[in-house]
């Protein structure tokens, strides 16, 4: 007989966890595992990363979920490997081989092909993708042998570095580093580069090394997170405001802070700014976002008073005693 499952006591958790997602996990699988380890009540990820891809996946908890769209919209940077001469049904190493061709490519030919994939380009989403059609993922249709018409979409390739490698006799690869806009399919890019070189290809490796200003060097694996005790796990969370690096910072005191938090516009001598992060003065805590126009601070996404209190309590619980003593001396 199976032992009864232990019920996890959930709690409010606020902040951003930079996860280095492992191969074989969907973004939601990784999110649910991290949510369970942190015993968090509310969480969301910031964009799907394929199970066959690894790399940085920012996970938002509690109040941070209110600003997760900023990471969804951020540019992404990937490292990928394209095996030339072999096409697969899925565009990656998981699919059956559907075609093999001879490879006659050198560095000069690759360098000549790369510029056509830089800048604004059109991509047709692959059938083996999580894009929805009538409430059903395209890969579900593909597994049933159904081909669905897909409209091409415009994406932006900011930078594209490519080099030829021959890791073993008869094996030809293109190693890519791509910085691109949201919605770019690197599998499709790899296949298109293979076609431009006249031999086809498929992706054998995909790793996301950056999303917006977050890099994989800052990220933590699930195994590393699991090895920490509960306090150390909480301490690895970045503050909610880490999602707002390009926002102009404004601090409000007393009644202004309270009214702003109630959704009331405030008047002041602020320069026009499309993105503002608004903080309270005492205690110093994020209140929400806004934009400033014609001397008015106009509220956007706001934290609730209970969220602010929980954030402050969480900060208190994860701040080392020595830091508490230093902060006390500074205010004396």
| Token pair for 111 | 């360098």
Phi, psi of 220 (to 5 degrees): -120, 140
Annotated catalytic residue 96: no
The Cα-based distances of 304 to 1, 5, 180, 312 in angstroms read 46, 34, 35, 13
- Catalytic choice (50, 92, 192, 256): 50
- 79 close to 50: Cβ distance less than 8 angstroms: no
Task: Let me know how long the chain is.
Answer: 332
CA distances from residue 160 to 105, 176, 213, 219 in whole angstroms, order as listed = 18, 7, 18, 24
DSSP-H helix ranges across the chain: 27-38, 69-72, 107-113, 138-143, 186-196, 222-227, 230-235, 254-261, 305-318, 321-331
For residue 215, the SS3 value is strand
Q: Is the dihedral of CA 98, 104, 110, 112 positive or negative?
A: negative
Cα 115 from chain centroid (whole Å): 27
Which residue in this structure is represented by tokens 């007393």? Answer: 254
Q: Which residues pair with 137 in a beta bridge?
A: 132
**Reduced to 3 states, what is the DSSP secondary structure of residue 263?**
coil
DSSP code per residue over 137-203 = EHHHHHHTT-------EEEEEEEEEEEEEEEETTEEEEEEEEEE-TT--HHHHHHHHHHHTTS-EEE
Which are the catalytic amino acids? 50
């Amino acid at each position: 007989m199976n032992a009864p499952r232990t019920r996890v006591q959930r709690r409010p958790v606020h902040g951003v966890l930079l996860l280095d997602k492992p191969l074989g996990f969907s973004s939601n699988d990784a999110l649910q595992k991290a949510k369970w380890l942190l015993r968090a009540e509310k969480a969301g990820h910031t964009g799907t990363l394929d199970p066959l891809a690894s790399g940085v996946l920012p996970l938002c908890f509690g109040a941070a979920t209110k600003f997760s769209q900023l990471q969804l919209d951020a540019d992404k940077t990937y490292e990928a490997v394209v095996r030339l001469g072999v096409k697969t049904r899925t565009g990656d190493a998981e699919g059956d081989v559907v075609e093999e061709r001879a490879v006659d490519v050198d560095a000069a030919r690759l360098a000549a092909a790369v510029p056509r994939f830089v800048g604004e380009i059109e991509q047709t989403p692959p059938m083996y993708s999580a894009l929805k059609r009538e409430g059903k993922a395209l890969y579900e249709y593909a597994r049933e042998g159904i081909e669905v018409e897909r409209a091409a979409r415009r994406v932006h390739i900011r930078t594209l570095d490519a080099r030829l490698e021959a890791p073993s006799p008869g094996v030809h690869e293109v190693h890519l580093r791509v910085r691109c806009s949201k919605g770019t399919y690197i599998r499709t890019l790899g296949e298109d580069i293979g076609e431009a070189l006249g031999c086809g290809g498929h992706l054998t490796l995909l790793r996301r090394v950056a999303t917006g200003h977050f890099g994989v060097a800052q990220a933590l694996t699930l195994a590393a997170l699991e090895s920490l005790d509960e306090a150390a796990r909480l301490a690895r969370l970045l503050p909610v405001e880490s999602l707002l690096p390009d926002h102009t910072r404004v601090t409000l005191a007393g009644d202004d802070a309270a009214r702003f938090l109630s959704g009331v516009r405030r008047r002041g001598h602020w320069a026009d700014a499309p993105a503002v992060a608004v903080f309270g003065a005492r205690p110093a805590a994020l209140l929400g976002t806004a934009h400033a126009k014609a001397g008015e601070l106009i509220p956007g996404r706001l934290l609730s008073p209970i969220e602010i209190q929980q954030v402050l309590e969480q900060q208190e619980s994860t701040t080392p005693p020595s830091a508490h003593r230093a902060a006390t001396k500074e205010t004396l």
